[in-house]
Structure 1
Amino acid sequence: MKKVALIFLILLSSVFFSNSLEENFIKARNFHDIDLIKDVISTAKKEQNNVIYAEALMEYALWGDSEDKEKLYTEALEVIKKEIEKDPNNGRAYYVAGAIVGRLAQYKGIVQSLFMLNDFDNYIEKAIEILDDNFYKGLALIAMGMRFRDVPWPLRSYKKAEKYLLDALEILPNYPNIHLELGKLYEKMGKVEEAKKEYEIVINSNAHPLLNATHEEAKEEARQLLQNLK
């Protein structure tokens, strides 16, 4: 009886710490808390939680105080690739891998980044296919929309970009950043009035409950972009 109780406590403890790590990651990302994201990275590494470790490294490289973003992205990509090999049905892992490839490509120059495009497509398409988590599926759809909007011709497709972004908006209607990306798309398409409307939506919207700091950045960017169109 005591042995059963001990096993139960160990399992309960494991679940508690795992949930605590996820909660801390969500909080760090939400408010761009540098100290907390560093703690999440350290804890995730110790617990060998590769998905959160890789995603936290990516977030820290994106908005933290790191001076070597490329190194962090590279390490995060190596870790998440191993996780995908271990668990090929982990949709979140595919999204994280694709997002990291996208960020890493920014440091590789146009030619090298185009060579990475196939990896990005494979990861994000797989994420969209198997994810049942609307939050991460929405992020994956946004990433694919931006991909078709921003790559050089003939690899881009504004029609596909719009479709992916509108699909993302359908499952994440409370994430105003999608309107920011739509506004940028409509600008590129020469649809100035539509772009203005999208930017105004961002400026007058409330943040997604998990992405407050990102929303403030989006509102500031939308204000600047709208001003440039006036």
Structure 2
Amino acid sequence: MRRSRYRWLSLLLFALAVSAHAQSADGDRLFAAGDYAAAAAAYLAAAEADPEDAAALYHAARARTYQARETAGEAAVALYEEAVAHARRATELAPDDPEAHFALARAWGRLAQYRGVLESLNLATLIKRELDRTLELDPDHDGALHALALWHTNVPWVFGGRTEQVRPLFERAIAINPTVLHHLEYGETLLALGDPEAARRQLELALELPAPTAADRAEQARARELLASRF
């Protein structure tokens, strides 16, 4: 009887693991297609099937962050805050996983961008802490290097922002992994820093890359808009 009970429990745990994996795979597919709300729901279903699945939680945080960027008002703030909650839980489950810390930094960082610098200075230290932890765990994490460049761009000097760090950080991120987003946001940053020719080249490079996901295509559309309006 006891052996039968253990066998039943093993089968149940196996079924839950298979279900969690399938839900995460659905989340990946939906995220690539740009259905961020459905992707988040799939990742959260995976996390419900396996409450120790930190990856499902930080992927849910990523999906909610992207969903928030397509939303306005208090609904966007609520999505960013939900992303923060999922990512924070992921860091608790997997404190040595750089992706968990990066998801938390990204959620806080995009929330700070949405609210504006002056209203978000209280988040600057938290964002920097998570980016530093990400890079401590993975010194070549291109997303964290990119985000740290944005941090130095947006945070005033008195709070630690150093604009001389911006170009080296972006260029290192691009050298590690040239993505549409890296080139786009480097171009936007160079425009803000008053270097239109260098910005133009980054925007052009963003358009030269493949765009397999909906996010890539949206970012390329933004690059085209900037090139058309500024040059």
Shorter-normalised TM range: 0.7 to 0.9
Query: Which one of 175, 178, 187 corresponds to residue 170 of structure 1?
Result: 175
Structure number with the bigger relative contact order (C-alpha 8 A, sep ≥ 6) is 1
Q: Does 1:16 align with 2:13?
A: no
Alpha-carbon shift at residue 94 of structure 1 (Å):
0.5
Query: Which one of 63, 68, 71 corresponds to residue 75 of structure 2?
Result: 68
Q: Please give the per-residue CA displacement for 1:63-103, whole angstroms capped at 9, x wherever unaligned.
A: 36996121222233233323323432121110111111112
Q: Secondary structure, in 3 states, of the residue corresponding to 1:116?
A: helix
Q: 1:11 to 1:125 in 2, by over 3 A?
A: same
Structure-1 residue corresponding to 2:125: 118
Structure-2 residue corresponding to 1:213: 214
Q: Does 1:227 align with 2:228?
A: yes
1:57/1:72 contact within 8 Å kept = yes
Q: 1:148 to 1:214 in 2, by over 3 A?
A: same
Structure 1 range deviating more: 212-221 or 13-22: 13-22
Percent pairwise identity: 22
2:40/2:59 contact within 8 Å kept = no
Structure-1 residue corresponding to 2:149: 145
Q: 1:193 to 1:83 in 2, by over 3 A?
A: closer
Q: 1:107 to 1:228 in 2, by over 3 A?
A: closer
Unaligned stretches of 5+ in structure 1? Answer: none
2:65/2:83 contact within 8 Å kept = yes
Q: 1:72 to 1:122 in 2, by over 3 A?
A: same
Q: Which amino acid aligns with 1:90?
A: D
Alpha-carbon RMSD? 2.9
Q: 1:37 to 1:64 in 2, by over 3 A?
A: farther
Question: 1:16-95, aligned counterparts within 5 Å?
Answer: 16-34=18-36, 36-37=38-39, 39-44=41-46, 46-47=48-49, 48=51, 49=53, 50-63=57-70, 68-95=75-102
Q: Does 1:158 align with 2:160?
A: no
TM-score of the pair, normalised by structure 1: 0.80
Which structure 1 residue ranges, 4+ long, deviate > 6 Å from structure 2? Answer: 1-5, 64-67
TM-score of the pair, normalised by structure 2: 0.80
Matched residues in 2 for 1:35 and 1:73: separation?
13
1:150/1:156 contact within 8 Å kept = yes
Unaligned stretches of 5+ in structure 2? Answer: none
